[in-house]
């Protein structure tokens, strides 16, 4: 079974909601999610890095603070230098998600940071794959899929409210569908790699 690692930092619990919904989507696609929560900048990241190394795909997630990924996630990203130097994650699939209070909030820049992290590791990026809603602003309610209109990855918006109610249903379902997409892509990717590996051996 294909394994998808979901490594994320969540400052107030809202980004964790998205991680859980992505994991649900991976399970809905019949594959195995591995949730890896980054608790703080001082923790030992070695177990998380090893789990990612063993996975077939990885989804990076962080809230957008001051127009970029959270500082705690950035400390984790810097700690992956060892995997970078050995090429441990080269040719794995990668994807990303973020969340912020404002509707825009420069979330695109945070997603670009996640994309660059993946690119530096030689990974292959999976985009959201869901078109923005073709509706008026008035019709773009909390149940709308991809209501933020992101392409590069999952972007969600949360109010200053409990994670039990925010982000809203549309963002949660977008995250679940993203999990399904990533899992399906990982299955295709690993199946295609097997003959090539056998021939190379």
Confidence bin at 15 (pLDDT 50/70/90): very high
CA distance 34 to 48: 10
Res 39: pLDDT: 96
Say whether pLDDT at 150 is over 90. yes
Confidence bin at 195 (pLDDT 50/70/90): low
The pLDDT tens digits for 47-92 are 999 999 999 999 999 999 999 999 999 999 999 999 999 999 999 9
Q: Which of 64, 148, 131 is nearest to 101 (CA)?
A: 64
Give me the CATH code for the 3-200 domain, please.
3.40.50.360
More confident residue, 174 or 140: 174
Res 89: pLDDT: 97
HSE-CB at 142 with a 13 A cutoff on CA atoms is: 8
- For a pLDDT cut of 70, what percent of the chain falls above it? 95
- 166 φ/ψ angles, rounded to the nearest 5 degrees: -140, 130
Whether the CB-CB separation of 182 and 59 falls below 8 Å is answered with: yes
> Which contiguous run of DSSP H or E holds residue 25?
helix 14-28
Mean pLDDT of the chain: 92
Cα 137 to Cα 59, 82, 107, 185: the distances in Å are 30, 46, 19, 32
Whether the CB-CB separation of 57 and 93 falls below 8 Å is answered with: yes
The pLDDT tens digits for 104-117 are 889 999 999 999 99
User: Model's pTM, two decimal places?
Assistant: 0.92
Res 200: pLDDT: 46
125 forms bridges with which residues in the sheet?
A: 94
């Amino acid at each position: 079974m294909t394994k998808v690692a979901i490594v994320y930092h969540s400052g107030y619990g809202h980004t964790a909601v998205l991680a859980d919904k992505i994991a649900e989507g991976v399970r809905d696609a019949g594959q195995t999610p591995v949730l890896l929560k980054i608790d703080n900048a001082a923790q030992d990241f070695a177990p998380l890095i090893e789990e990612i190394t063993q996975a077939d795909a990885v989804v990076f997630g962080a809230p957008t603070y001051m127009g970029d990924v959270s500082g705690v996630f950035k400390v984790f990203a810097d700690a992956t230098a060892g995997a970078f130097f050995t090429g441990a994650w080269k040719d794995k699939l990668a994807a990303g998600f973020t969340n912020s209070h404002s509707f825009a909030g420069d979330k695109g820049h945070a997603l670009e940071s996640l994309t660059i992290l993946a690119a530096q590791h030689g990974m292959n990026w999976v985009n959201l794959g869901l078109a923005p809603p073709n509706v008026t602003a008035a019709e773009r309610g909390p149940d709308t899929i991809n209501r933020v209109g992101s392409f590069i990855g999952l972007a969600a918006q949360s109010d200053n409210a409990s994670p039990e109610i925010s982000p809203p249903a549309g963002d949660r379902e977008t995250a679940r569908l993203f999990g399904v997409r990533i899992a399906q892509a990982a299955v295709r990717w690993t199946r295609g790699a097997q003959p090539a590996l056998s021939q190379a051996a």
